[in-house]
Structure 1
Amino acid sequence: MRVTGLRERKKQRTREALIRAAIELFIERGYEQTTVDEIAAAVDVSQRTFFRYFATKEDVAFALHDMIEQRFFAAVREQPPGVPPSQAMRIAIESTWNGIGASIEDTVPVRVYMRMWQTIEQTPALVAVLLRRSIDSSERLAAEIARREGVDLETDPRPRVVVAAYTGVMQAAARHWGTNAEVTVDAARERTMAYLDQLGPSLSEDWGTGRKD
């Protein structure tokens, strides 16, 4: 048991080291300019070892994102029965931002994650990957909402509709702050929650714009 535990901890340390090295290189050199060989060399392991932990270079690029997403999904599942879907997601989003450090601090400081998010938003190849992964995440979230509400995802469109609304708002907020010169957790949290605050009013019939008939 003890040997197994030591082996698992060593594997975890190697994985974290590969993530740190990759993120630092992506930020410094750019995603497309960084090779798997360079990431492996930075940790003093072989390319073969890298592929034991990550199937592709894009997988390591989104490793931190996946950690945070796991925390978000856990926060949604932890909401008590009876909490409306939109409220459950909003609480989970805020909880995830407030605890973002706990999600990744064993791997990299939060400030490094924020810089990596900028790199993702400014790299067309990674933006394309992010959009593709978002489709899968949205479907998973819709399935969880359907489970919570006791409805059939295949016949009831509401889970997908409410998830599409929330994920669309979060993506819009992320694009806004992700392309700014300076990105901080506080700014990202405030921008995300401010956008979510506008979801209801934006869907109302009357925006109060004073338009002329």
Structure 2
Amino acid sequence: GKKAVAQEGDVVGDDGKIKLPRLIVEFAVENKAKAKLQRERREKRMEHAQKQRLESRQRNREEAAKAKGKKAANADDNNKTTAREEKLAKKAAKRERRKEKKRKRREEKEAAENEAATKKQKRQAGKAAAAEQEAKKIKPPKKKRKKDKEEEQFENMVNSYKAAFAGMDGAGTNKGGQDKEEARNPKENVDKKRWFD
């Protein structure tokens, strides 16, 4: 074999062989073992994948042969439905299932609405009953006492005397027919309120 050439930093023994540290040797051995295992696994995976491919191809061929046999049997037998009729039947069945689901949903929704409406009516009836009871509890307001006719006559008489003493009739005018404000001299206070004084 080849003889290893010592490089700078290598340790050379008495016999002239290069000495490697023990850890480096162990790592190298370990890495070789791992590489071997990986290679074996990869080969197994590839074999397995190839086997699966072959099996699936064979299965597909068998299914195709069965389908051809069925088609031939269907063609011979007029009583069986064709593939197109089967599709139509499946679609019709699907349609029926959808209609049934819609109908159920609609019924459930109506039932929920009816339930909500009855609950609401019960609540309103309860509120109405409570309001009715409260209305019964509340006493009607007392009517204002009617004034005695004599009292009213007395007040009218007092007001008329007051107006007579003030020099006015009940309408707020002088006996002469002029307003009280007009009867006074409007320039009475002019001398007192001049701005330049």
| Shorter-chain TM band | under 0.3
Structure scoring higher RCO (CA < 8 A, sep ≥ 6) equals 1
What TM-score, normalized by structure 1, do the two folds share? 0.20
